[in-house]
Every structure is written in structure tokens, then in C-alpha cells.
Amino acid sequence: MTRIDEIRGEFIELWGRMSSLWGITPATGRVYGWLITQPDPVDAETVMEGLSMSRGAVSMACRELVDWGLVHPERVAGSRRVAYRAETDLEKVVRAVVATRKRREWDPVMERLDEWIPGLKGERSREAKVLRERLEDISALVGVADEAARQFLAGGIVQKLGMQMLMSKAAKARRKR
């Protein structure tokens, strides 16, 4: 095993362990980690061989990664095969993760809260009042996070927080190593 294979393996395992923080399975995280380490787009067969995973597991992982915007499918010229290219622009990756988490988690919560809170306003019991107040508190908190995510995805917060500067500094630090 070469040093690059050793580092690639450790990176893939780390990515698989971290994946639960994004809301994806470890297998999907491993596929994304593996794709990041590839210089060129690769087909599912190559991913299967590289990770010793089943066709079904690789297919499901790639579909999920495409849905998240973390992997881009590309047709192989003269073939019916699809090759997968990992998104490696870290700002795009972060935006894709935030957008997907917002769509899957915050949006449904906000929709339900918007239904439930007005439904409790006509209720007079102490129990209904307490529940409504707690739901309003949750709505306010999720609303703040949702607005921050909306602004981030629109590009407003990135400039305000200096994300471009941070990315530039990270690139400079990487070049110095």
C-alpha cells in the first residue's frame, strides 16, 4: 500500500464518520470522500471496486449525493455509463449542504408551525396557551436560523462574514505547506 492509498483510506473513513453531521449515511459519506480523492470523474463500477461496496449501495449513495448537489453526473462519451464528479468548491459544498438541510428539515417544521399556532389561538385552556407559546418560541428560533440560511444561500452573509477572505487565507495556507 502506498502512502497516497493510506492517506486516501484514512480520509474516506473520516468523511464517512463525519457524514452523520450533515444528515447522510456513513456509506454515502465514504462515497463522497472517495470521489473527492479522484482526479477525474469515475463510473459506479470504479467506485464499487475502490470501496468494496455493492452496486446498490453505490447507486443509492450517488443518487443521494446528486440530490444534495455534492456530486455531478456526467455521460461518458460513446457509452451509456454515467461518471460522477465530486463538487470540490468548498463554498458550493457548504451552500449545498445548508440548502438541502433547510429544505428537508427547517421548511417542513416552519410549515407545520404556521398551521398549528393559528389553530391554537382560539383555544382558551391553560394547556393550549402554554403549547402555543412554546410553539411560538420554537417558530421564532427556527425563523432566525431559516432567515440566516436564506441570506447565506443568497450570498449576502458570505460577503458580510468575509467567507471569501477566509477561503483565500485557507488557499494561501495550503500553498505554503
Report the pLDDT value the prediction gives residue 164, as an integer from 0 to 100.
Answer: 62
Per-10-residue mean pLDDT, the chain, length 177: 92 92 91 96 95 96 95 89 92 86 89 94 92 94 86 67 63 70
What are the extents of the domains in the chain?
A: 3-86, 90-176
- The dihedrals phi and psi of 76, each to the nearest 5 degrees, come to -80, 125
Asked whether 81 and 92 are in contact (CB, 8 A), the reply is no
21, with CB counted inside 10 A (0-12, 13-18, 19+), is exposed
Measured distance CA(113)–CA(93) in Å, rounded: 29
The pLDDT, as a whole number, for residue 48 is 96
Q: In the prediction, which pLDDT does 91 show?
A: 80
Beta-bridge partners for 86 = 71
The angle, 0 to 180 degrees and rounded to 10, between the axes of the packed helices 26-36 and 55-68 is 80
The pLDDT of residue 169 is: 67
How far is CA 131 from each of CA 42, 86, 110, 121, 160, rounded to the nearest angstrom? 52, 45, 16, 10, 37
Can you state the percent helix, strand and coil of the chain, rounding each to 5? 75, 5, 20
Buried b (16+ CB within 10 A) or exposed e, 128-167: eeeebeebeeebeebeeebeebeebeeeeebeeeebeeee
Fold of the domain spanning 3-86: Arc Repressor Mutant, subunit A (1.10.10)
| pTM score | 0.73
What is the pLDDT at residue 163?
60
Instruction: Residue count of the chain, please give it.
Output: 177
